[in-house]
Structure 1
Amino acid sequence: MTEQAAHPLWQPGAERIAKSHVTWLIGEVNSRFGTSLSNYADLHAWSVKNLSAFWDLVWDSCGVIGEKGAQRLIDADKMPGAQFFPDAKLNFAENLLRKTGSGEALVFRGEDKLEKRLTHDDLHALVSRLQQALKAEGVGVGDRVAAMMPNMPETIAIMLAATSLGAIFSSCSPDFGERGVLDRFGQIEPKVFFACDGYWYNGKRVSIADKLVEISKHLTTPSKLVVVPYLGEAAETAGRLDRGVDLDAFLTPFAAKAVTFERLPFNHPIYILFSSGTTGVPKCIVHGAGGTLLQHLKEHRYQCDLSPGDKLFYFTTCGWMMWNWLVSGLASELTLFLFDGSPFAPSPKVLFDYAQDEGFNVFGTSAKYIDSLHKEGLKPIETHDLSALRLITSTGSPLAPESFEYVYSGIKKDVHLASISGGTDIVSCFVLGDPTAPVWKGEIQAAGLGMAVDVWSEDGRPVKLERGELVCTRPFPSMPVMFWNDKDGAKYHAAYFDRFPNIWCHGDFAMWTEHGGLVILGRSDATLNPQGVRIGTAEIYAQVEQIPDVMESVAIGQDWDNDVRVVLFVRLREGTTLDEDLVRRIKTQIRVGASPRHVPAKIVQVTDIPRTRSGKITELAVREVVHGRPVKNTEALSNPEALDQYREVPDLLS
């Protein structure tokens, strides 16, 4: 449970509230429907009660390009089964490429100091040439195009070219191993595969030519493996690949012309995203054009309060759904700022240099990055001009209360801090920011508009100020269209609807606060159960992160003596050892800040903590290793070698 603060950390001024898109939307609803809504809570309640009218209003107010059709929502009582805009026709890329001209669309900065700037016309031209080249390879409606790429402008152009043709796009980052790539793209059988020739990370130049040679031997479906230049080795790398061609040669036959768009049904697939779990081959989660577009338009405009011309940055790789969220900013006519590489090379201030140089309005990142800045003692508030910055968003894992305080003391005082949470499953958010409301320490501000979010007890009863399961009780447009190779929908149904019939159960352990906000307490499948009491791992991390000597930690439940005991692994500041004094301080902090039941039975020092490639700590993999069970999908991890430290730990054998 979060420590209760007496005052909010931040509150928007009256002028900011009055000029917000949320305030405009409240007025529009009152005008159209004769309601008397007065604040965000009223608007949210109306939006989930009137799903058809709300999403119709999002379509209109955000200027969706397409044919809306006569119906807004059918089978609204079915999850899965509800259909939004069943008669609609649209094209995802057409909506993202709505703007033309000499204004900047994409700005890219790489760790190697490579910079690229593309105007909207530049982007159109590149998409046009890629579209023609893909079409020449036979790519059409329903075909898959896969990319193993950094977060650079070419990746966005490839996605837009593919989806303009009605093809389905899927991506991962170039640090994935051979097995990880084949586990993902081998399932979806792409017709064309794009990859870079390498990348930079933490000051190192990393060629992936050898890895691509091995991948090309087993990924047999693509007619072409297109190598995109980053290190300057594209032609050489392509020459080593069967069916290989470098990007320049792939595009040479085609001159830029007007991009064409294949308009398709609302739920036509555009993306395949992959679960990052370590319990088996990744699930292939298929997302539709209309639902993804509407959700992202709503989140950018109303939850983030963005307007055309604003500057949006998110630190993400192409293997995380926040990349998909970022690129949709083009549909709101935002300028997107891309970065590839380590956010700490050559120094921890590199992203704030970028923010200052370009005048970011939104700085999006992960909770882990904010915690790391805090531990580094970085204070951009004293060293950087962040006057243009209005919003900081954080996701990937729960943002600790101390990290909330750090943002306001160390980064910027007058900024809207929005901790957000949703996931790959919905390629968007369940809970996120409300630009008209105060920010309270440790709390996510609100459920998203149109999202009937609640917290339920184990017996399916809504609870307030109690821990429970995060659910969504009514349908929403960005529910997955399907899972790939799940013909009868059994895997899809089991993933979300088995726990509570006709209710989306997301798998997060959560709690409403007295302010109407939400706290995410960790993943349900990683919840600890000592003596039958459910404890969220995030509750433990929030206390441990307050101890300066602890850089990060991972908590699991170990089966022991016919019960479960809490075990905490800690990575310490360099030069620090886990002595009796530090163990006592950790246990005292957890006992006082959380409860005696949260105090670990064992604390063990490690030098590394396993993470998924999107940066999330993986309690499940650690738990499997501690219990002597195999981890089925180590390719989901960015540092699988870290697991060796958790095998047969002497302290855990007694």
Structure 2
Amino acid sequence: MTAIEPSWRPDPARVRESRIVRFATWLDTQGRASLDDVTDYRALHAWSAAHPGEFWAAVADFFDVEWSTRPRSALAERRMPGAVWFPGGTLNFGQHLLRAGDDDQESVILVAENGERSSITYAALRTQAAAVAGRLRALGVEPGDRVAAYLPNCIEGVVAFVATAMVGAVWAQTGLDYAAPSAADRMAQLSPRVLIAGSGYRFGGKVHDRRGDVRDLRDLLPGLRHTITVETAGVAGHAAGPGVSTWADALAAEPDPIGVVVGFDHPLWVLFTSGTTGKPKGIVHGHGGVLLEQLVSPGLHMDLSGRDVFFWFTTPNWMMWNAQVCGLLHGATIVLYDGRPTSPGPDALWRLVADLGVTVFGTSPGYLEASQRAGLEPGKDLDLSALRLVGVTGSVLPGTANTWFREHVSANVQLASMSGGTDIVGIFVAGAPTTPVYDGEISAPALGAAVQVWNAEGEEVPAGTPGEMVITEPMPSMPLHFWDDPDGRLLRDTYFDMFPGVWRHGDLTAITERGTVVIYGRSDATINRHGVRLGSAEIYEALSGMPQVEDALVVGVEEPGGGYWMPLFVVPHGDHDPAGLVSRIRRRIAERASPRHVPDEVILVTQLPHTKTGKRLEVPVKRILQGADADRVVNRGAVDNPEALDMLISSARSRRAR
């Protein structure tokens, strides 16, 4: 059998200079791990997965975590759920965010869709965070109290988060694009003491005034004592009054620069599930677990440092906002974008990367595919010489995107696909400076993640065989608990229902003989057609690079009487003969996947719904097509385009009527 060659290999000189190799060398010289080759990622990962306590203790020491009280041990109870990490250890996450960058270095840059740019240095970030922390303390915010934010991408949001962490309060955020009731679905659960609210955001060439929604949201938050208003997107903020003050008031407060010392497991933030299939669930993460994960994922896997300009296109609704802010841990300059990623043109983000000299750029497969459809030539038309890494997450990266990237962006820049999630605010599988890239595959399991693939009986499957992705050892960034889940039942049902004591992530996955990882889609959306399991990602991969297809959604629907229906909904790009396009789609899937992947029906639609973070709604759409009440299986407030959802509901009703 001919060996499959990687499409990209790391430069040996850069490998030797990378922090991950310095870490491996340090482990070896300190006698903490025996590594024959410090550049061998597989050996380093195998050690980290087999010895979780030793690995995460080494991470804390290597990155010089500032303990106020040193922990008694690293992993006192090695079980899931309920692992006990670093007992007795105390620290503060906010203080760690402020310790790395030089005073005169830009810490945060905000770029608006209209080209406006503003920034703040590390010195100013420290000063402003201390002032806002003082303001929160003056408003009666104590450790464990919740601070809610209703903001667009803005510098004030970063400052407010750092300040919240410094006082030991719990941060939760929803973007201004959520209507007040949808924002309240999330944040009202927490009964926040303080709300920090913007006034507007930019999207699609327009400024959206949200002051009315801010007023509505205040009335929907039980126990709210005070609101701090922030002028955003040029929309005038609310005037000060009873229970309301301004951002200027917060910056003028008596500073409180000393972070409150809290335990390793003290809650840092609450992140919410998408809420597309019911009320959003709040996932609680702790100061110490987030700190260690965010030292590893950007610090080792992305090699992030104070030399980097770090831009991940995200919104405050997505955990990647939190992950991007964690670039401050490494002294990087982080970049926020307020606007639509394809406005004022499809090359908007590539131009930002060129203009700011971005070194690490994070995006989605959807944006790469949109760039391909638009015929962009970023590597030819723009100066991307500073760029060294492009990270991709949010959905499965098709192999054709790798090809387009090498030909039209750069053959030298690493395109690193990764996957993890809100669940751990980090990564389970990813690339690293020492791993090659194979098209359509993720380079490796992440450090500290004991990733395996199991069948339904709980047995590890042979290489290349799809099955359930599981994590067999605890990680410190796994959730402390779900909000309002006192007995832990929801946590157990979500991750440990199928395999007690082992984390089931819900991805249909295979690990190849090369040790790379292939994700086929969510296992609860797996297509089981005539006894053959198919991953939806294989169909999307077949359509990838087809200029006539802008978007697609495929589901497998079990029907009464043992029937099975597999429709593919397609949004065409440009004007095409419908019958001819359907024929080309079916032929392409047969040729690039297999005849069994060809859908029963190709349905052309004008638009498709997604979550607010751009993910396909496979499971809710499947249930709707099976006849479930749409209002019971999907929360419209969590959908980016409710009109598109209505079209699919209408399609389902028509089919049932027939």
State the TM-score bracket (shorter-chain normalisation): over 0.9
Structure 2 match to 1:23: 21
For residue 59 of structure 1, report the CA deviation from its aligned partner: 0.6
Structure 2 match to 1:564: 564
> Which amino acid in the other structure matches residue 44 of structure 2?
L
C-alpha distance in 2 between matches for 1:608 and 1:387: 37
| Residue range with higher mean Cα deviation, 531-540 or 243-252 | 243-252
Structure 1 match to 2:60: 59
The TM-score, its normalising length taken from structure 2, stands at: 0.95
C-alpha distance in 1 between matches for 2:385 and 2:547: 30
For residue 93 of structure 1, report the CA deviation from its aligned partner: 0.1
- Tell me the matched-pair count: 645
The answer on whether the counterparts of 1:604 and 1:651 sit within 8 Å (CA) in structure 2 is no
The answer on whether the counterparts of 1:362 and 1:392 sit within 8 Å (CA) in structure 2 is yes
Per-residue CA deviations over 1:320-369 (Å, capped at 9, x if unaligned) read 00111111111111111111111111112222222112211100011111
Residue 263 to residue 130, structure 1, CA distance change in 2 (3 Å): same
| 1:505-524 mapped onto 2 (5 Å cutoff) | 505-524=504-523
Structure 2 match to 1:573: 573
For residue 258 of structure 1, report the CA deviation from its aligned partner: 5.6
C-alpha distance in 1 between matches for 2:336 and 2:622: 35
Per-residue CA deviations over 1:43-70 (Å, capped at 9, x if unaligned) read 0111111212211111111121223322
Out of 95, 101, 104, which is 2:103 matched to? 101
For residue 547 of structure 1, report the CA deviation from its aligned partner: 2.3
SS class of match (2:293): helix
Structure 2 match to 1:248: 248
C-alpha distance in 2 between matches for 1:329 and 1:340: 18
The answer on whether the counterparts of 2:373 and 2:545 sit within 8 Å (CA) in structure 1 is no
For residue 238 of structure 1, report the CA deviation from its aligned partner: 4.5
C-alpha distance in 2 between matches for 1:338 and 1:405: 28
Structure 2 residue 195 is the aligned partner of structure 1 residue 190: no
For residue 120 of structure 1, report the CA deviation from its aligned partner: 0.7
Structure 2 residue 121 is the aligned partner of structure 1 residue 119: yes
For residue 462 of structure 1, report the CA deviation from its aligned partner: 1.0
C-alpha distance in 2 between matches for 1:18 and 1:298: 18
Structure 1 match to 2:496: 497
| 1:190-589 mapped onto 2 (5 Å cutoff) | 190-235=192-237, 237-238=238-239, 243-252=243-252, 254-255=253-254, 257=255, 259-463=257-461, 464-560=463-559, 561-579=561-579, 581-589=580-588
| Residue range with higher mean Cα deviation, 161-170 or 16-25 | 16-25
SS class of match (1:506): strand
| 1:146-185 mapped onto 2 (5 Å cutoff) | 146-185=148-187
The TM-score, its normalising length taken from structure 1, stands at: 0.96
SS class of match (2:530): helix
For residue 243 of structure 1, report the CA deviation from its aligned partner: 3.1
Structure 2 match to 1:611: 610
For residue 250 of structure 1, report the CA deviation from its aligned partner: 4.2
| Residue range with higher mean Cα deviation, 498-507 or 307-316 | 307-316
Structure 1 match to 2:627: 628
SS class of match (2:245): strand
The answer on whether the counterparts of 2:134 and 2:256 sit within 8 Å (CA) in structure 1 is no
For residue 29 of structure 1, report the CA deviation from its aligned partner: 2.1
SS class of match (1:603): strand
For residue 651 of structure 1, report the CA deviation from its aligned partner: 5.9
Per-residue CA deviations over 1:235-287 (Å, capped at 9, x if unaligned) read 4x346x973333224444x25x4611111111111010000042210111001
Per-residue CA deviations over 1:182-211 (Å, capped at 9, x if unaligned) read 100010111101111001101011001122
C-alpha distance in 2 between matches for 1:202 and 1:86: 49
C-alpha distance in 2 between matches for 1:14 and 1:608: 46
> Which amino acid in the other structure matches residue 71 of structure 2?
G
The answer on whether the counterparts of 1:91 and 1:164 sit within 8 Å (CA) in structure 2 is yes
Structure 1 match to 2:145: 143
| Residue range with higher mean Cα deviation, 350-359 or 43-52 | 350-359
Structure 1 segments, 4+ long, off by >4 Å, are 650-654
C-alpha distance in 1 between matches for 2:577 and 2:158: 46
C-alpha distance in 1 between matches for 2:35 and 2:146: 47
For residue 121 of structure 1, report the CA deviation from its aligned partner: 0.9
Q: Which runs of 5+ in 2 are unaligned?
A: none
Per-residue CA deviations over 1:478-529 (Å, capped at 9, x if unaligned) read 0000001000000011000011010000011111123211111111111111
The answer on whether the counterparts of 1:92 and 1:290 sit within 8 Å (CA) in structure 2 is yes
SS class of match (1:319): coil
For residue 73 of structure 1, report the CA deviation from its aligned partner: 0.5
C-alpha distance in 1 between matches for 2:244 and 2:407: 51
C-alpha distance in 2 between matches for 1:68 and 1:589: 59
SS class of match (1:546): coil
> Which amino acid in the other structure matches residue 328 of structure 2?
L
Per-residue CA deviations over 1:428-486 (Å, capped at 9, x if unaligned) read 11001121121110110011111101111111111220111111000011000000100
For residue 23 of structure 1, report the CA deviation from its aligned partner: 1.8
C-alpha distance in 2 between matches for 1:8 and 1:40: 15
C-alpha distance in 1 between matches for 2:266 and 2:6: 43
The answer on whether the counterparts of 2:110 and 2:155 sit within 8 Å (CA) in structure 1 is yes
The answer on whether the counterparts of 1:531 and 1:563 sit within 8 Å (CA) in structure 2 is no
The answer on whether the counterparts of 1:278 and 1:631 sit within 8 Å (CA) in structure 2 is no
SS class of match (1:529): strand
Q: Percent sequence identity over matched residues? A: 38
Residue 220 to residue 144, structure 1, CA distance change in 2 (3 Å): same
For residue 542 of structure 1, report the CA deviation from its aligned partner: 0.6
C-alpha distance in 1 between matches for 2:74 and 2:351: 45
The answer on whether the counterparts of 2:527 and 2:533 sit within 8 Å (CA) in structure 1 is yes
| Residue range with higher mean Cα deviation, 95-104 or 447-456 | 95-104
Residue 368 to residue 531, structure 1, CA distance change in 2 (3 Å): same
C-alpha distance in 2 between matches for 1:114 and 1:514: 49
The answer on whether the counterparts of 2:152 and 2:232 sit within 8 Å (CA) in structure 1 is no
C-alpha distance in 1 between matches for 2:23 and 2:610: 40
C-alpha distance in 1 between matches for 2:335 and 2:648: 39
C-alpha distance in 2 between matches for 1:14 and 1:57: 25
> Which amino acid in the other structure matches residue 27 of structure 2?
V
Per-residue CA deviations over 1:88-138 (Å, capped at 9, x if unaligned) read 101000000113511111111111323111111110111111111111111
